[in-house]
């Protein structure tokens, strides 16, 4: 009999394993407090499982907090007391697959956040081996995959996921995160317990996590505008990295990598062959990401990536495709006309939400406060607004994230190539390069700041610095350049953080890279660092805040593996970026998307800090409350702010990051 698999896409998980005695009632209340902290991610229902006092009891509540049915209780031989929690966003098969879910023997219990896109194939394989399914849920398929293949089941999954499985048989807790880091997972070890959750908010809701700031994480944030995994901003908290599992058994905790992405070149093939491979895998990825029992929409900016996703949705027979964009009242930040052109070309039911910059500015504190770790990507604000407005219309939206990191879509790929070539050049050539950039920068109008940035690095080269092959990339990502990083830190803070490499995560990837050229090595670094720590966290937090599920077909791991093995010329040409994508979708994309320069969501941060945001800047970054934290010299903070407000310099990047850091402290530490 043909089985139609239906997933139940959950939007948060959490849990506690006590290391000190606690009652079932205490455990259940703690799990429910974690659920409440994450309710925004899954407003349609709630569940909990508690192992304590010789019993394993499962509870389920509806979206209003009322019990769905009586608790289910079975015997347990565990000496460990633990609890698992989840919040539900119902996407498919909304009447089945309640979580936590147990196997037939009630020996194995799972909580799962995500979507398994190869459920049909796995379900058929398991059914062929004699498994009889009770539901049509991908949660049950994942559970039965664990029953059949054990912890190696993660290697067979295609999808986005974070899940936790309590196995009564060997008294183990097994936690896994998807390969690319689409779904989040943080954990902490305290004196009383080991905790985990989809967001730091859940861990803080327990009251068990000390709010001691990891000072090295503050310095890492200043370099990269995010805190790199596996670090988290608090000392007791850690991030489970993408492609990793965590096993807790017999009191021992072990973290292992189960997936590695190789950027070693594959067998030589023509661009046409690479394009055909890309098209086949991209079609499969988009098709699998469309499965849902509720309407599925898509973000559409009019750029290449979102247009590729939407055009493929339409070509695959999705029917009427609904697309969404946010239009701003400041022309230089408004992509709505490009989106409208793309919607007309593809033939979508398009909706544009108009937002004034003033309205957007009113959301700044709300957005920065929602991020429970320091985060300074200004595009988080418009992304938050887009997710909020889209969530009023659909529960699921496809997005084009993940393409730039794989296919050299960012301008910094070319900039890095230029700077790395200069770094490897003789001293005389480096000096000439720096001289030329110094003189060109003032003459290039809107490109002046970008060229000035390149010139700053060239001057470091001219003076004999930058022996690290990744130094150019770190320079391009670093906001506090030109000596500001050293000047702004207090002596005590500088001494403390100076013991650690703030770019350890970049060097860890670069040192083990299998790439054969510097730009491909850069792409490998971006996929493993910037993508999960910045882009995916931004989208997850912004969408999760509104109970919206965002799916990213460019990050189907089968497509990612194929692209990684393609040669650089299939990604970056002399005049084109994303070469293989353009070739694969030739004729399907609107002309405007093919011509459009990389833009992305932006905020007029520099202007805002000189106008409406000036008061907030001085009341936060320059406040006594902020300076008493001991990180920064007050006189240097004042100099930064005064020079920017008086338009003697543009320090908006530094000031925006300092603003986000202080708002994070006030919201989640103070």
pLDDT digits (tens, 9 = 90+) for 541-557: 999 999 999 999 999 99
Angle between the N-to-C axes of helices 427-440 and 448-462, in degrees from 0 to 180, rounded to the nearest 10: 150
Q: What is the pLDDT of residue 408?
A: 95
Residue 502 and residue 221 in contact, taking contact as beta carbons nearer than 8 Å: no
Q: What is the pLDDT of residue 1?
A: 36
E strands in 33-107: 45-52, 55-62, 72-75, 82-88, 101-102
Residue 259 to residues 178, 186, 241, Cα–Cα distance (Å): 9, 19, 11
Q: What is the pLDDT of residue 509?
A: 96
Nearest residue to 367 (alpha-carbon basis) of 379, 356, 352, 358: 379
- Which tokens is 390 given? 């889209």
- Which tokens is 113 given? 């956040």
Instruction: Look over the chain and give the mean of its residue pLDDT values, rounded to a whole number.
Output: 91
Q: Is the pTM of this model over 0.85?
A: yes
Separation CA 448–CA 458 (nearest Å): 15
Q: Is the pLDDT of residue 332 over 80?
A: no
Q: Is the pLDDT of residue 8 over 70?
A: no
Q: Is the pLDDT of residue 276 over 60?
A: yes
pLDDT tier at 443, thresholds 50, 70, 90: low
pLDDT tier at 336, thresholds 50, 70, 90: confident
| Max mean pLDDT range (149-158, 420-429, 592-601) | 149-158
The pLDDT > 90 percentage for the chain reads 72
pLDDT tier at 450, thresholds 50, 70, 90: confident
Find the Cα–Cα–Cα–Cα dihedral 339, 340, 346, 350, rounded to 10°.
100
The pLDDT > 70 percentage for the chain reads 95
Q: Is the pLDDT of residue 5 over 60?
A: no
Q: What is the pLDDT of residue 120?
A: 92
- Which tokens is 98 given? 């309640």
pLDDT tier at 246, thresholds 50, 70, 90: very high
Q: What is the pLDDT of residue 402?
A: 97
Q: Is 600 or 5 the better-scoring residue by pLDDT?
A: 600
Separation CA 88–CA 47 (nearest Å): 8
Residue 527 and residue 516 in contact, taking contact as beta carbons nearer than 8 Å: no
Separation CA 664–CA 668 (nearest Å): 6
Strand partners, 116: 159
Nearest residue to 623 (alpha-carbon basis) of 578, 568, 661, 596: 661
Q: Is the pLDDT of residue 333 over 80?
A: no
pLDDT tier at 498, thresholds 50, 70, 90: confident
Q: What are phi and psi of 253, to 5 degrees?
A: -115, 125
Residue 198 and residue 372 in contact, taking contact as beta carbons nearer than 8 Å: no
8-state DSSP, 354: E
Mean local confidence (pLDDT), 361-373: 90
Q: What is the pLDDT of residue 523?
A: 97
Separation CA 363–CA 357 (nearest Å): 10
Q: What is the pLDDT of residue 2?
A: 42
Find the Cα–Cα–Cα–Cα dihedral 531, 537, 543, 544, rounded to 10°.
140
- Which tokens is 354 given? 């108009």
Mean local confidence (pLDDT), 480-487: 90
Strand partners, 60: 47
Q: Is the pLDDT of residue 652 over 70?
A: yes
Domains of the chain, earliest start first: 10-257 (3.60.20.10), 271-408+521-595 (3.40.50.620), 604-670 (no CATH)
Q: Is the pLDDT of residue 4 over 60?
A: no
Nearest residue to 199 (alpha-carbon basis) of 365, 38, 380: 38
How many whole angstroms from its chain centre is CA 666?
Answer: 23
CA 566, 568, 569, 572 dihedral sign is: positive
Angle between the N-to-C axes of helices 138-149 and 119-128, in degrees from 0 to 180, rounded to the nearest 10: 50
Residue 601 and residue 539 in contact, taking contact as beta carbons nearer than 8 Å: no
């Amino acid at each position: 009999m043909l089985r139609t698999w239906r997933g139940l896409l959950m939007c948060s998980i959490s849990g506690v394993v006590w290391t000190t005695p606690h009652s079932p009632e205490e455990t259940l209340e703690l799990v429910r407090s974690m659920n409440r902290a994450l309710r925004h991610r899954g407003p349609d229902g709630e569940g909990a499982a508690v192992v304590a006092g010789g019993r394993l009891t499962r509870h389920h509540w509806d979206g209003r907090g009322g019990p769905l049915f009586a608790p289910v209780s079975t015997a347990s031989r565990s000496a460990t007391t633990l609890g698992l929690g989840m919040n539900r966003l119902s996407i498919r098969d909304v009447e089945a697959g309640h979580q936590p879910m147990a196997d037939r023997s009630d020996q194995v219990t799972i909580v799962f956040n995500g979507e398994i896109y190869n459920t049909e194939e796995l379900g058929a394989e398991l059914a062929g081996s004699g498994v009889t399914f009770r539901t049509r849920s991908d949660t049950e398929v994942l559970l039965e995959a664990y029953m059949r293949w054990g912890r190696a089941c993660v290697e067979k999954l295609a999808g986005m996921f974070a899940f936790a499985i309590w196995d009564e048989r060997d008294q183990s807790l097994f936690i896994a995160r998807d390969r690319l880091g689409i779904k989040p997972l943080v954990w902490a070890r305290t004196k009383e317990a080991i905790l985990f959750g989809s967001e730091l908010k859940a861990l803080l809701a327990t009251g068990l996590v000390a709010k001691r700031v990891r000072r090295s994480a503050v310095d890492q944030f200043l370099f990269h505008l995010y805190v790199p995994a596996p670090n988290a901003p608090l000392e007791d908290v850690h991030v489970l990295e993408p492609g990793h599992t965590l096993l807790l058994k017999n009191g021992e905790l072990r973290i292992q990598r189960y997936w590695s992405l190789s950027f070693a070149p594959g067998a030589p093939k023509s661009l046409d062959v690479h394009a055909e491979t890309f098209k086949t895998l991209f079609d499969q990825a988009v098709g699998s990401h469309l499965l849902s029992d509720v309407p599925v929409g898509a973000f559409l900016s009019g750029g290449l990536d979102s247009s590729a996703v939407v055009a493929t949705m339409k070509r695959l027979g999705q029917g009427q495709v609904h697309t969404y964009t946010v239009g701003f009242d400041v022309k230089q930040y408004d992509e709505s006309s490009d989106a409208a052109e793309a919607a007309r070309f593809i033939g979508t039911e398009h909706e544009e939400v108009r937002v004034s910059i003033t309205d957007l500015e009113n959301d700044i504190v709300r957005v920065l406060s929602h991020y429970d770790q320091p985060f300074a990507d200004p595009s988080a604000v418009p992304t938050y607004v887009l997710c909020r407005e889209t969530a009023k219309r659909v529960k699921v939206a496809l997005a084009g994230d993940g393409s730039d990191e794989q296919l050299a879509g960012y301008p910094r790929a070319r900039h890095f190539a230029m700077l790395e070539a200069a770094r490897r050049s003789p001293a005389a050539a480096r000096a000439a390069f720096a001289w030329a950039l110094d003189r060109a920068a003032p003459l290039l109008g809107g490109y002046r700041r970008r060229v000035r940035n390149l010139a700053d690095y060239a001057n470091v080269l001219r003076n004999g610095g930058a022996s690290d092959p990744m130094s150019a990339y770190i320079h391009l990502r670093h906001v506090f350049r030109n000596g500001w990083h050293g000047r702004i830190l207090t002596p005590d803070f500088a001494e403390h953080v100076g013991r650690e490499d703030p770019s350890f995560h970049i060097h860890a990837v670069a040192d083990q890279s299998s790439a054969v050229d510097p730009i491909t090595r850069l792409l490998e670094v971006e996929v493993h660092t910037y993508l999960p720590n910045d882009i995916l966290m931004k989208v997850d937090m912004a969408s999760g805040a509104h109970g919206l599920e965002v799916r990213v077909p460019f990050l189907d791991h089968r497509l990612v593996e194929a692209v990684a093995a393609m040669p650089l010329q299939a990604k970056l040409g002399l005049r084109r970026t994303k070469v293989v994508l353009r070739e694969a979708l030739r004729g399907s994309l609107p002309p405007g998307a093919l011509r459009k320069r990389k833009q992305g969501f932006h905020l007029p941060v520099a202007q805002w800090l000189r106008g409406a945001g000036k008061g907030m800047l001085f009341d936060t970054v320059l406040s006594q409350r902020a300076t008493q934290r001991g990180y920064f010299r007050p006189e240097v903070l004042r100099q930064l702010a005064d020079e920017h407000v008086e338009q003697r310099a543009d320090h908006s990047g530094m000031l925006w990051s300092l603003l986000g850091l202080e708002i994070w402290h006030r919201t989640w530490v103070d």
